[in-house]
Structure 1
């Protein structure tokens, strides 16, 4: 069963990527992804990146970590090879921006270049693979929120303070010196359209709403849309703009003729705090977001149509979708992956039990099994079974491969997207 509400109103590649990378398509000098001095484009092939190999297809890799032992691996999904890298123990969360993995610990955040990424030029895409290497350590640790685009990486610490790092430095294997943003935002700082977007509560509003704030790359506050968001939780970058989760639904911020416009996407009914969308997951490049709706349901937000759909699923451990007509993927407490039609809310497919042991964690937790989705496959980690399942979600959730490991993949993210 499901309830559908019709309303009006990242890690995906943001629009700024297109602007920043268009010069290489136009035949100008290419500032390489390695951040090094480049020679004239006439002497290099289009899309050339120093120190990287361009490939014809997506070069997906899984970054895996066991917080207890510190075991850390990079699993190359193209070759099937497992790369052992220096360990990181005590990891509270593992996130990615499509290339770099961020291992959050109490003492700071380790930045690992997984050596696989893509560059979206709008009408075509370049795929790259390079050596895996450490890129340094960020001082912000447990609770830090890291958001990136092609130019900068914004790190918002648990204390609310934000440091903005140059992406070119990270691509050279160095953290570099950050620029500090003023104030203490109430949400993550999200790079978008050559600016930095966030929510702040430094207003006198009696309703407790936070307001949208837009900074330029230098940290100067610029004109912002007049819009608020009560009790902000979660955010995501889509091709339609930046989505912030709010008490009444979502707030969409998009570029509009050189400025920024805000549009509300309400649930359409009052939703208890424990059932609101608070942590979004989606396929990079998709405009369909998913989030737990409490312990027994899932929210699907279609940013294009500005609609929320609530799918009743039963106990949820993890959720994701590829969007665009693909099934909603839900890992439930029976250890099986279930597929739902987001239009009807009906279950359309189901795997056998895939998890050796189902942890007590629930959807929205930063640890536990995760569902990573790309354009053709989904990946589900089985920590107790020391393996990862590759799922063809377009073929009735067929298990295409089971990839065995020499460690417990408690935390998992996919890079190369």
Structure 2
């Protein structure tokens, strides 16, 4: 069970996150001035209902409420090898299928204002395909690529909106050639998706496929690996740089070379809805990409790190975790060390980082979570989690 927060610690977390627990027994009714009417069983809240949602090795899905510190089991599914999340749904990946779980907590951003909701959690269902899946979640759709397991693979684009009604609607499903030693990707765009294509046994380009499954133009992207959505558009890491698809119809595509020609990145991490993202390179450097300025900032931490995430706040914070387990807050442009949280022991696995506006949730898959304040480096709270794979939901 998670350790409960003291009243002082709980108040600190709520003030810093800008959220408070919803009153018990709240009726499902729109907030004052709201232009949205919740569905039956759904409650509109005054603040996001943030949770750490964990898939245990035995398939149990648990929900840790970050406001109250209480934990509950919300579903039981088949065990899985990896998870992905989009702020509401947990996607559990295993050979031959992806299970979609609705966490029952989400945020709806209308651009000039935001709504927060809580509703019933449930298992939506499975998307099946040949081989090992890769999932890339987007705002309007979710891309799933099956590598074929030695045979032909498949690329699937699933529409997000019907998932709220417990329905899985595939926008397209098409054959996809497998690449040697590399997972293919289906990367959701504002309209349609990029689907990796193979030449000479390796991923060579990203082909635009619209929501009816019609293929369009392609952009060069050798050995594509890693994608993230930012406030500007979608970024995909390639062997020699990134491609950026700015939101729009059609998407405006740009190529941004890496700051060093002999290094590259394979994954990004950053706060949802912000322009800056961070990545560890193959050579152990930290690269921060500002998609709005189309600019890179490259630096090395004093000690090797295993995970890094850009906060994208006015102070340009970047949070990193060292191999020894220290949580270190850096200045994103210069790399200057701003604060350090002492290590409680080297993490058994690569930690997951979930940055929010004023704090970051640092999750060790072995069963611990810290809430770290960016400004002071103080630990606001510690939680125990079940062993497993975790995503942040309610966002």
Query: Shorter-normalised TM-score: what interval?
Result: 0.7 to 0.9
Hey, what's the Cα distance between the residues in 2 that align with 1:105 and 1:194?
Answer: 27
Q: Of 299, 309, 326, which aligns to 1:311?
A: 299
Hey, what's the Cα distance between the residues in 2 that align with 1:221 and 1:383?
Answer: 39
**Which residue pairs with 1:181 in the alignment?**
174
**Which residue pairs with 1:3 in the alignment?**
none
**Which residue pairs with 2:373 in the alignment?**
392
Partner SS state of residue 181, structure 1: strand
Hey, what's the Cα distance between the residues in 2 that align with 1:398 and 1:113?
Answer: 32
Partner SS state of residue 36, structure 2: coil
Q: Of 260, 264, 269, which aligns to 1:269?
A: 260
Q: Of 208, 214, 218, which aligns to 1:220?
A: 214
Hey, what's the Cα distance between the residues in 1 that align with 2:120 and 2:147?
Answer: 32
**Which residue pairs with 1:96 in the alignment?**
85
| Cα deviations by residue, 1:222-251 (Å, 9 ceiling, x for unpaired) | 3x36x3122211111112121111111211
Q: Of 16, 21, 43, which aligns to 1:53?
A: 43
Q: Of 284, 299, 311, which aligns to 1:322?
A: 311
- Deviation at residue 376 of structure 1 after TM alignment: 2.6
User: Is residue 394 of structure 2 the alignment partner of residue 416 of structure 1?
Assistant: yes
Hey, what's the Cα distance between the residues in 2 that align with 1:391 and 1:169?
Answer: 36
Hey, what's the Cα distance between the residues in 1 that align with 2:242 and 2:186?
Answer: 16
| Cα deviations by residue, 1:279-303 (Å, 9 ceiling, x for unpaired) | 1111110111111123633221111
Q: Tell me, yes or no, if the aligned pair for 2:310 and 2:332 is still in contact at 8 Å.
A: no
Hey, what's the Cα distance between the residues in 1 that align with 2:378 and 2:130?
Answer: 38
**Which residue pairs with 1:404 in the alignment?**
384
Partner SS state of residue 170, structure 1: helix
Q: Of 94, 113, 128, which aligns to 2:102?
A: 113
Partner SS state of residue 342, structure 2: strand
Hey, what's the Cα distance between the residues in 1 that align with 2:346 and 2:259?
Answer: 38
Task: Name which of structure 1's ranges 238-247 and 291-300 shifts more when overlaid on structure 2.
Answer: 291-300
- Deviation at residue 113 of structure 1 after TM alignment: 0.7
User: Is residue 227 of structure 2 the alignment partner of residue 235 of structure 1?
Assistant: yes
Q: Tell me, yes or no, if the aligned pair for 1:104 and 1:142 is still in contact at 8 Å.
A: no
Cα distance change of structure 1 residues 389 and 265 upon mapping to structure 2, 3 Å threshold: same
Partner SS state of residue 68, structure 2: coil
User: Is residue 285 of structure 2 the alignment partner of residue 297 of structure 1?
Assistant: yes
User: Is residue 275 of structure 2 the alignment partner of residue 287 of structure 1?
Assistant: yes
Hey, what's the Cα distance between the residues in 1 that align with 2:78 and 2:325?
Answer: 26
Q: Tell me, yes or no, if the aligned pair for 1:164 and 1:181 is still in contact at 8 Å.
A: no
Cα distance change of structure 1 residues 121 and 284 upon mapping to structure 2, 3 Å threshold: same
Hey, what's the Cα distance between the residues in 2 that align with 1:345 and 1:309?
Answer: 9
Q: Tell me, yes or no, if the aligned pair for 2:138 and 2:229 is still in contact at 8 Å.
A: no
Hey, what's the Cα distance between the residues in 2 that align with 1:290 and 1:109?
Answer: 27
Cα distance change of structure 1 residues 209 and 263 upon mapping to structure 2, 3 Å threshold: farther
**Which residue pairs with 1:24 in the alignment?**
none
**Which residue pairs with 2:325 in the alignment?**
335
| Cα deviations by residue, 1:251-290 (Å, 9 ceiling, x for unpaired) | 112245x423221111143224xxx210111111011111
Cα distance change of structure 1 residues 199 and 106 upon mapping to structure 2, 3 Å threshold: closer
**Which residue pairs with 1:371 in the alignment?**
353
**Higher relative CO (CA 8 A, sep ≥ 6), structure 1 or 2?**
1
- Deviation at residue 141 of structure 1 after TM alignment: 8.3
| Cα deviations by residue, 1:123-155 (Å, 9 ceiling, x for unpaired) | 111111111111112224874222344443321
Structure 1: tracts of 5 or more residues without a match: 1-40, 362-367
**Which residue pairs with 1:348 in the alignment?**
338
Hey, what's the Cα distance between the residues in 2 that align with 1:284 and 1:390?
Answer: 17
Mapping for residues 22-171 of structure 1, pairs under 5 Å: 46-51=35-40, 52-67=42-57, 69-88=58-77, 90-140=79-129, 143-159=132-148, 160-171=153-164
Cα distance change of structure 1 residues 179 and 269 upon mapping to structure 2, 3 Å threshold: closer
Q: CA RMSD in A?
A: 2.7
Tell me the TM-score normalised to structure 2 length.
Answer: 0.81
Cα distance change of structure 1 residues 84 and 209 upon mapping to structure 2, 3 Å threshold: closer
| Cα deviations by residue, 1:135-193 (Å, 9 ceiling, x for unpaired) | 11222487422234444332111234112223233212233566313544874222222
- Deviation at residue 378 of structure 1 after TM alignment: 1.0
